[in-house]
Amino acid sequence: MAHLHVIEDNDEVTDVVVFCSDPCHRDWCNRAGNPGYTGWNGCQEISDSEPCIECGDNVEGVMDVKK
pLDDT tens, residue order, the chain (67 aa): 999 999 999 999 999 999 999 999 999 999 989 989 989 999 999 999 999 999 999 999 999 876 5
3-class DSSP state for residue 5? strand
- Could you give the CA distance from residue 16 to residue 20 in angstroms, rounded to a whole number? 13
Q: 44, 35 in Cβ contact below 8 A?
A: no
Q: Is the dihedral of CA 59, 50, 25, 45 positive or negative?
A: negative
Dist CA 44 CA 24 (whole Å)? 15
pLDDT at residue 66, as a whole number: 67
Considering the entire predicted model, what is its pTM?
A: 0.89
